[in-house]
Structure 1
Amino acid sequence: MPQYIRARFKGSVFFFTVVLAERPSNLLIDEIGRLRQSYRIVQESRPFETVAVCVLPDHVHCIWALPEGDSDFSIRWGLIKSGFSRGLDPALARSESKVAKREKGIWQRRYWEHAIRDDADLARHVDYIHFNPVKHGYVTRVADWPHSSFHRYVGRGLLAADWGGDMKDIQGSFGE
């Protein structure tokens, strides 16, 4: 297997996609309290700023700003994933490889990260994160998805409550 090299930029901002091994699944929404607790514990012990986040039933998108001089997002994700998995039903099916590596089999081993290059890149990724529940068809309006930093952005006056429009109105205008 090729050795995967992750980007390391101390104190940088990164976009992540972290996915469950079994898709489709509702596990992240069904266990949202467990996910929030694991995330919060790691954030307290290894600080980072969550710029934007959206939890969907089977994956998470987020942007983190790491502290100056720190580039270790891998350990943070490992701790979040293991903290979430600990205590879940052990009857979840696991491959021999996952058993050998003492993995629960809940998460995909890898995740996607992207180093944010500039303000425009950041804005594109924040928009992508907030619009994702609409893209996947979970809701027709961004504001209707409860597990997103979109609501924090609206509260701070950074986005309008009707940002992203209403897919029902858009579909209706095309006769669909």
Structure 2
Amino acid sequence: MPNTTAPHATNLRRGRFSEFGRTYLITTTTHERRPIFRNFRAGRLLVNEMRLSEQNNLVESLAWVIMPDHLHWLLVLRDGSLANLLKRIKARSTQAINRELHWRGQLWQRGYHDRAMRRNDDLQAMARYIVANPLRAGISSRLADYPLWDAVWL
């Protein structure tokens, strides 16, 4: 029987490969789109895991925003594969959040969406679009008031 809760989860994996030095826009959602990251502490624990990936030279983060039920992350892949990176981030953030906040269970939805950026893509414009998500969603009226974002250019 097909999985009707995530009809495209397997389609996203088909034909995917990782390229070192390539810039990607990654989007991944929480399990059942639960607004887990309305909890600021949960969001900061995810940020810690993302920064650890940078410190371990797996990625260079260009821009990201953590929305209540998903993550947008513009990154340059430095080592490993996208699949392993996302598996690591999801597993480690789930462990940290569940442990720290005394939660249980699945935090992330399976799979993720990636878009390989092209040489002529305007990365700064993409970064502005990513970090403006809370404004478009009506979560915040000013970007400065939303705490879970960062960009190297801003």
TM range (shorter): 0.7 to 0.9
- Cα separation, 2, equivalents of 1:48 and 1:15: 12
Structure 2 portions without partners, runs of 5+: 1-9
The one-letter amino acid of 1:113's match is D
Match of 1:64 in 2: 75
Alpha-carbon spacing, 1:153–1:46, altered in 2? closer, same or farther (3 Å): closer
Which protein, 1 or 2, shows the higher relative CO under an 8 Å CA cutoff with sep ≥ 6? 2
Residue 119 of structure 1 and its aligned partner are, at CA, apart by 4.2
Bigger share in strand: 2
- The structure-2 alpha-carbon separation of the partners of 1:53 and 1:138, relative to structure 1 and needing over 3 Å to count, comes to same
TM-score for both structures, normalised by structure 1 = 0.67
What does residue 145 of structure 1 align with? 146
What is the DSSP-based 3-state SS (H/G/I as helix, E as strand, rest coil) of the residue aligned with 2:121?
A: helix
TM-score by length of 2: 0.76
After TM superposition, the structure 1 = structure 2 runs for residues 88-99 of structure 1, keeping only pairs within 5 Å, are 88=98, 89=102, 91-92=104-105
Amino acid at match of 1:129: I
Aligned CA-pair RMSD: 2.4
Contact 2:54 2:61 in 1 (8 A): no
Hey, what's the Cα distance between the residues in 2 that align with 1:153 and 1:39? Answer: 18
Deviating runs (4+, > 4 A) in structure 1?
A: none
Structure 1's unaligned 5+ residue stretches are 93-104, 155-176
Q: Structure 2: how far apart are the matches of 1:107 and 1:14?
A: 20
Aligned residues: 139
Note closer, same or farther for the CA distance 1:50–1:91 as it changes in structure 2 (3 Å cut): closer
C-alpha distance in 2 between matches for 1:130 and 1:141: 11
Within 2, Cα distance between the matches of 1:7 and 1:28?
32
Q: Deviations over 1:25-54 (max 9, x none)?
A: 133643123212222233333431101111
- 1:150-171 CA distances to partner (integer Å, 9 max, x unpaired)? 5x534xxxxxxxxxxxxxxxxx
Identity of aligned residues (%): 24
Based on CA coordinates, which of the two structures has the bigger radius of gyration? 1
